[in-house]
A and B are shown apart, each in its own frame.
Chain A
Amino acid sequence: MRTKYLALVLPLFLTACSSDDNSIKVNTDDLINSDVENVALDEIKDPEQGLFQPGQPISLDFSINTTLLETEHVGVTFMAIPKDKVEQLKTHDNPEGYNLGVHYIAQLTPGEQSFTAQLMLPNEEMPSGEYLIAGYVDSARSIEDEQDLEDNASRGHETGDLTTYAQVTIDSSKYHDFVMDKLVVGDGYAIFPDVGLRETTTEDAPEHKEADLIGHFDASKFGSGVNSANVSASITINGETLPVHFWQEGLNHYDDKMHIEFKDHEQSHYFPYDIAINGVLLNKLHQAYNADSDSNSFELTMTIEDTSEFAESNTTNNTLTIEVPYSLYKNEVPDDHPQAAQLKEAAAAQENQMLYPMAARSDIGGDDTSAVIIKGKDSLLIMDFYASLYGDKSKVAVLPLFSSSMSFANVNGGQAYASAIGTFSLFMFDKSKNLFSASAYGKADGGNGTIEYGMKASLIGNSLFDESETLEALNRSFGYDWEEEQKLFSTTFTIVIVPISVSAGVKGSVGVNTDLKYEQQRFSIGGDVLTASLEAYATAGIDLLIASGGVGIDFLIIGDTLSAEAYIDISKVLSDSELVYGLDISNNMKAIEGEFYLWVKYPGYEFCCSFPTREATKTLYNTGALYDKTWELVSTQGSLNFAN
């Protein structure tokens, strides 16, 4: 799954301990003299604190002694190993130890040098007990032709000399600490429905499925014993604090808390959230909103709650609060709508009558969507719009935008219109691109029996098809899907002549699968207006036909199907003064799942052996697909009878 940058072209070092190339030279006293180029690990001091838990930071003071060397760029690797297994460091190429990390020395200077290494005990199960921490100087073998390699490593335990080891005790009891590092709301703001568009009385978790706030938080945890927690959130407005509700992945509803798990023993995690607010909170936001102000805002607070039976070591770092600007929308009849005048009249008559959700609920059996439905005496307008940013724009994010509408006006034999549009914009490293968009519309004219239709698709700003036509009958299918692999962002900069290249892009499939029909004055649009399954990739590193390390990305950015079924039957408009219609728009979306990481491949030299291509990665951004969700943007059907 993980794609690596260019193939590593490095000398092939032998891995077997028995290899001649890796045999450790005999260290005899007569070889150690001031005329021989050498570096030796002199001492690793025991840390002041002797007791540690897995996942805890540890700092170690150590010293080395260098003779006739001024080598730059030297690594010192550290490993913790149970005291009774320390012999394995010499005999096993995979000793039963735990890597603590590498300390970097910019340059060796002759004589004794002392350092403090900031290391981390692995965030995984380590049996409790006595451990020795051993070190190895020059883990990348930067020193050429060093005379004695044995004294690069910790040594002497056989004789009870532990000068070059640190002794610690590992206690694998349930030490843990959660830290809320960063809290972000999608694009930095929120938009809610204004008065009259949604109910404002429910106190518990809301029933609707459409998110009110999409965003993410970054959190860390220390200690290996406890790997999960709950998160709660609240909004404070005008001094009042009310809870908000989280989407429950797999359970298909909103609830009070979000359960999070820290996977893979990584210290830093990215958690996406999908929040809805209930009626009472919406009402508070309405009351606090000052329409004459340039800016309105509320406070969003999120807290990690420890649910384990063990006490968390520090709870003061579990909460973050941010200020979020917000505004209120109140959809109106589009002023360029062909039947704007009639629809506006209908809308005015229904002002503040709780048109929605009551009308919608009666149609769709209890589910709540944010669609606007305006039913006049002889006109109809249904429309919906959804857009939210998923992910972190500074890394990878996607902005899906869906818009659909249906309308009818009983003029000139009946005029009906239906449309559905979907677009995706991609953000990577704070740059954006229009990734893919598709749309379909139809305009039926009952008076002269014609249909105008349009169907468009474009990818990265390039039109792929853009069809529109006026006909008397229509029966067209647009069923195309295909694979794409596009490099979207790329930059190279050179340090004098050494090039560093960065590139990122997407690969996957996109498509449309829509039928447009107009037969016997029944007009319909059906199918998947837009489908997309796209992964993001990124690579960065020194571009010298080799790659030592860099940044990588393996992400599903979007898996989406926007489905539309719309029909308007105007065949009985003239004869029976009746219109029959239906509109179902639903969306299935899975967004932002994967990993953003730093990685490095390096030739490693540790204790007994050399490793030609060891690999280390550090996850910067890792998420499961919380946003795997299907919801109805609008679902309604019915009839209009103009005779009444």
Chain B
Amino acid sequence: MSRLTLFMVSALTLPFGSVSANDNCTSWGNFSTTANTQMTTLNHPTNNQLSISGSLVYRPLLRTEKAYWLGLQLHKASLSVDGTQAQAAFYQVPFAVKISAVSGQILDYHFAAKLKSEDEQKLIAIYHNMHVEHLKHQDLAMPVTLEEDDSMGRYKVRYERVDQASIIRQKLAYLQTTQGNSLFNFKLPEVKADTFNITQNACWITQLQGENQTYVESEKGDIRINVRQQVSYKVSPQPLSSEIVLLSLPLDPKKWPMLASNVVYPKPAPNPLQDAQTFINTLTAMDLASLDEKTLEQLLYDNQAYLLSLQQAIRDGLFTDKALSRLFLKLGQNDTSNAHQLLVNLYLDSEITGKQRFRSLMALKYIENPLSEHLVEEIFSQLDSTELSSEEQLLSRSSMMVMGVIANNQSGSDFADKITDKLADKLVTTRDQQKQASLLNALGNSRDERHQDNINKFMSNDNADLRRRAAEALGKMPNPQSLKMLEKRLGSEQNNTAKSAILDAMGNNQLDRRQLDTLLTYTEKSTNKSLRLSAINAAAKQQSADIDVKSQLKPLLKKEKDREVLRALMQAIHGDN
């Protein structure tokens, strides 16, 4: 058993007891794929080969009337690049796919670890090959051609039933590319070949075999990528291994514990210097402001055991201001428990200047691992301390906003939920309006919709500044409920700053015709300038295929004279030209 698997098993099985693969449809099989990639940049050809293999585990999960979840894990995944084994533990992370019970379409994905977005896409790509749920809603008595989407765009695909258990899937051609790949600015991808034979049983796929060849070229032809690959999966008759993490997870993916980042992205053991003093001496001898980024990161990583000794060195003024500016950022990115401890210590250290204490807060924004409970407690208690200077009060309020940012960066985790629960709890229990103001900002930073009801309570507060902040916070979590809250307050709001914030916040949502018409009434010349400005900016975001905002804004050009508002109007009308 690999070290990683052992770790995963030990990390995940304990809270959930023994393996519970009693669902009849749970299965596993051998999955393998090999892709040969030919990339030509500036006419220079390069070839690479990527192979991924492992035991692909399938497990039906939570089912509701409207949707159901399927769990997947590439157990004992192995990756090789150009024939050389490569580490890619994230391929083994269990993930779940939410399927619409009505259409069989994919609604959502959930991962048992905080993965980099690019790595999430790699797991999604594996499932996308195996997605057959929507076919349960198709009559395949005759061959059908459907339109489907993947990360590259919309394409036509043909399905043909071969016999009761088997179908042939053929991707025919791309119809459009996905927006957002503009860095490469690709032409329409070309499907040169794509045929897959899929055999199913009553539960899922029992066998999949096929190959694909796709050609992608940048608009100017500078980059050309030709990928040819085979994918195969065959269900295994062997009993499921008890080591499979997916089998021990709760049926509801949203209740899955998250794997620690050092499990998913393991790093080599640190190689520290002799002692803390040597570490400090080494650091102070370097020009940290201009030191190569990777060298500084490695030095801090190797000497994470000595990081706490930096507090005294900073107190003693051993670093220049520029060096400290860099050092704080890298400590935040270091993200080890000692770095967390050091940054919190520095934030609370009254012997250090406010500027450096503020920098320690800014560095904490970068952490992606949970802070330990006692550090969270220390940060929150500082807000309630009664003996703070005016600058320390500012720092304590900023610290709440930073906690909001951290929660957003780790959203979906238990830790993030605990943080936002704490922020919301403080918001409703404190009577101090300055604290309430900062906590509204903090919850806005967290983007945690679970607390929008608490935020909404401040939309009718007597204090216009709190109403403004509540509107800004709701604007950071656009959804139908928060939009309703904003819309409800819009008509009765009397303070222009707060009203302007409501209009701005509404603009972050996709508005319907009626809501847009309401918004446009605030663009009239008779309205206050800040409201016109917010309404025009919000309306400009609504441009879509079925709503022509430009033609509605154009007549305003005849009347508008204010430079700032005029600019917003011209931007909305001509900005994309």
CB within 8 Å of B: which residues of A? 9-11, 72-75, 101-104, 139-140, 142, 187-189, 191, 194, 291-295, 325, 327-332, 334-336, 385, 387, 394, 403, 429-431, 461-469, 476, 479-485, 490-504, 509, 538, 540, 542-546, 548-551, 598-600, 602-604, 616-618
If A73-B47, A499-B122, A549-B44 touch, whether A480 touches B182 (CB-CB below 8 Å) is no
- Are A496 and B212 in contact, with the CB atoms below 8 A? yes
Please determine whether B42 and A548 come into contact, CB atoms closer than 8 angstroms. Answer: no
User: In the complex, what distance in Å separates the CA atom of A142 from the CA atom of B46?
Assistant: 8
- Chain B neighbourhood of A491, CB < 8 A: 180-181, 183
Expressed in whole angstroms, the Cα–Cα distance for A178 and B354 within the complex equals: 56
Query: Smallest CB–CB gap between A441 and chain B, Å?
Result: 11
CA distance A188 to B183 in the complex (A): 21
From B216, B398, B465, B570, A464 is in contact (CB under 8 Å) with: B398
B117 engages A490 (CB within 8 Å)? yes
Q: Which residue of A lies closest to B211 (CB)?
A: A496
A551 contacts B46, C-beta separation under 8 Å: no
Binds A, one of B161-169, B259-267, B277-285, B557-565: B557-565
Pair A496/B231 contact, Cβ less than 8 Å: yes
Chain B residues lying within 8 Å of A469, measured Cβ to Cβ, are 434
Contact of B42 among A191, A336, A598 (CB under 8 A): A598
Q: Is the CB of B37 within 8 A of A498?
A: yes
Q: Are B122 and A551 in contact (CB under 8 A)?
A: no
Interface centre among A10, A334, A464 (most CB of B within 10 A): A464
Whether B82 contacts A548 by the Cβ 8 Å rule is no
Once bound together, how far apart are the Cα atoms of A631 and B178, in whole Å?
A: 43
Q: Is the CB of B41 within 8 A of A599?
A: yes
User: What are some 30 contacts across the A-B interface (CB < 8 A)?
Assistant: A9-B81, A9-B82, A10-B82, A73-B40, A74-B45, A103-B43, A139-B45, A187-B571, A189-B573, A191-B567, A194-B561, A292-B558, A330-B561, A431-B182, A467-B394, A482-B329, A482-B358, A491-B180, A494-B121, A494-B152, A496-B35, A496-B229, A497-B33, A500-B225, A502-B183, A509-B325, A538-B183, A544-B37, A544-B50, A600-B41
Kindly report which residue of chain B lies nearest to residue A598, judged by CB atoms.
Answer: B222
A485 touches B333 (CB 8 A): yes
Among listed B92-100, B371-379, B438-446, interface-contacting one: B438-446
B229 adjacent to A498 (CB under 8 Å): yes
CB distance from A266 to the nearest CB of B (A): 13
**A188 to B42 alpha-carbon distance, docked (Å):** 31
- What is the chain A residue whose CB lies nearest that of B124? A494
Q: Collect the chain A residues with CB atoms within 8 Å of residue B529's CB.
A: 334-336
Whole-angstrom distance from the CB of A399 to the nearest CB of chain B? Answer: 9
- The answer to whether B44 and A600 touch across the interface, beta carbons within 8 angstroms, is yes
Distance, CA A394 to CA B220, complexed state (A): 14
Mask, B282-318, CB within 8 Å of A = 1, is: 0000000000000000000000000000000000000
Q: Is B64's CB within 8 Å of the partner chain A? A: no
- Given the known interface contacts A480-B355, A495-B225, A497-B50, the answer about A551 and B44 at a Cβ–Cβ threshold of 8 Å is no
Instruction: Out of B325, B408, B476, B557, name the residue touching A295 (CB < 8 Å).
Output: B557
Residue of B nearest to A184 (CB): B577
What sequence of 0s and 1s flags, for each residue 492-526 of chain B, a beta carbon within 8 Å of any chain A beta carbon? Answer: 00001000000000000000000000000000000
Within 8 Å of chain A (Cβ to Cβ): is B30?
A: no
Other A-B pairs, 19, CB within 8 Å; known A466-B437, A497-B122: A75-B45, A102-B44, A188-B577, A329-B561, A385-B564, A431-B182, A462-B365, A463-B442, A468-B437, A482-B329, A495-B152, A496-B129, A498-B35, A509-B325, A549-B44, A549-B46, A602-B45, A617-B42, A618-B222
Question: Are B227 and A495 interface neighbours, CB within 8 A?
Answer: yes
CB–CB B557/A493 < 8 A: no
**Which residues of A sit under 8 angstroms from B566, Cβ to Cβ?**
191, 327, 329
Q: Is the CB of B37 within 8 A of A72?
A: no
Q: Is the CB of B38 within 8 A of A466?
A: no
Given contacts A480-B358, A499-B118, A548-B48, whether A542 and B397 have CB atoms under 8 Å apart is: no
> Which A residues touch B3, using CB under 8 A?
none
A467 / chain B contacts, CB cutoff of 8 Å: 394, 397
Q: Is the CB of B117 within 8 A of A479?
A: no
Q: What CA separation (Å) do A429 and B408 show in the bound complex? A: 25
Top 3 nearest A-B pairs by Cβ distance? A549-B41, A188-B577, A600-B41
A139 touches B401 (CB 8 A): no
- A480's nearest neighbour on chain B, judged by CB, is B358
A493: nearest residue on chain B (CB-CB)?
Answer: B151
**Interface hub of A140, A330, A481, A600 (most chain B Cβ within 10 A):** A600
| Chain B residue with the shortest CB-CB distance to A543 | B118
Q: How large is the interface on B (under 10, 10 to 19, 20 to 34, 35 or more residues)?
A: 35 or more
Kindly provide the distance from the CB of A194 to the nearest chain B CB, expressed in whole angstroms: 7
In the complex, B370 has a CB within 8 A of chain A: no
Q: How far is the CA of A122 from the CA of B84 in the complex (A)?
A: 38
Residues of A within 8 A of B117 (CB): 490, 492
B102 smallest CB distance to A (angstroms): 27
Q: Which of A294, A483, A497, A540 contacts B555 (CB 8 A)?
A: A294
A191 vs B563: C-alpha distance in the bound complex, in angstroms? 8
B536: Cβ under 8 A from any A Cβ: no
CB-CB under 8 A from B136, the residues of chain A are none
Rounded to whole angstroms, the CA-CA distance of A496 and B182 in the bound complex is: 19
Inter-chain CA distance A462–B366, complex, in Å, is: 13
Residues of B with C-beta under 8 A to A550: 41, 223
| Closest B residue by C-beta to A140 | B45
Bound-state Cα–Cα, A325 to B229, Å: 51
Q: Is the CB of A140 within 8 A of B152?
A: no
- Contact across chains for B563 and A104 when beta carbons are under 8 A apart: no
Do B528 and A495 touch across chains, with their CB atoms under 8 A apart? no
Given A482-B359, A544-B48: A429 and B182 within 8 A (CB)? yes
The minimal Cβ–Cβ distance linking B136 to chain A, given in whole angstroms, is 23
CB of A369, distance to nearest CB on chain B (Å): 13
Q: Are A598 and B184 in contact (CB under 8 A)?
A: no
| Contact indicator A542/B183 (Cβ below 8 Å) | no
Looking across the interface, which residue of chain A has its beta carbon closest to that of B575? A187
B355 touches A479 (CB 8 A): yes
Output the nearest chain A residue to B555 by Cβ-Cβ distance. Answer: A294
Instruction: Name the interface residues of B334-382: CB closer than 8 Å to any CB of A.
Output: 354-355, 358-359, 362-363, 365
Is the Cβ of A548 less than 8 Å from the Cβ of B41?
A: yes
User: B390 to A476, Cβ gap below 8 A?
Assistant: yes
On whether the beta carbons of B43 and A101 are closer than 8 Å, the reply is yes
Of all chain A residues, the one with the shortest Cβ separation from B438 is A466
Docked CA distance A542–B82 (Å): 13
> Is B226 positioned at the interface, with any CB of A under 8 Å from its CB?
yes
Residues of A within 8 A of B139 (CB): none
The closest CB in chain A to the CB of B441 belongs to A463
Which residues of chain A are near B394, meaning CB under 8 Å? Answer: 465, 467
The answer to whether A482 and B231 touch across the interface, beta carbons within 8 angstroms, is: no
With A466-B441, A494-B125 as contacts: A549 and B39 at CB distance below 8 Å: yes
Whether B42 contacts A327 by the Cβ 8 Å rule is no
Partner of B46, one of A463, A468, A484, A548: A548
Least CB distance from A518 to B in Å reads 14
- Measured between C-beta atoms, what is the minimum distance from B124 to chain A in Å? 8
Q: Nearest A residue to B445 by beta-carbon distance?
A: A462
B140 interface residue (CB < 8 Å to A) = no
Residues from chain A with Cβ under 8 Å of B205 in the complex: none
Contacts of A385 in B (CB 8 A): 563-564
Closest residue of chain A to B87 (Cβ to Cβ) is A545
Is B214 part of the binding interface, using a Cβ–Cβ cutoff of 8 Å?
A: yes
Q: Which residues of A contact B225 (CB under 8 A)?
A: 495, 498, 500, 542
CA–CA, A292 to B33, complex, Å?
65
Contacts of B428 in A (CB 8 A): none
**Any A CB within 8 A of the CB of B69:** no
Within 8 A of A (CB), among B512-554: 528-530, 554
Contact indicator A335/B528 (Cβ below 8 Å): yes
Nearest chain B CB to A121 CB, angstrom units: 16
Partner of A466, one of B359, B469, B530, B569: B469
Asked if B71 is an interface residue, CB under 8 A from chain A, the answer is no
* Known A327-B566, A598-B41: A429·B227 in contact at CB below 8 Å: no
A386 nearest in chain B by CB position: B563
Q: Does B66 belong to the interface (CB within 8 Å)?
A: no
Residues of the A chain whose Cβ atoms lie less than 8 Å from the Cβ of B181:
491, 493, 502
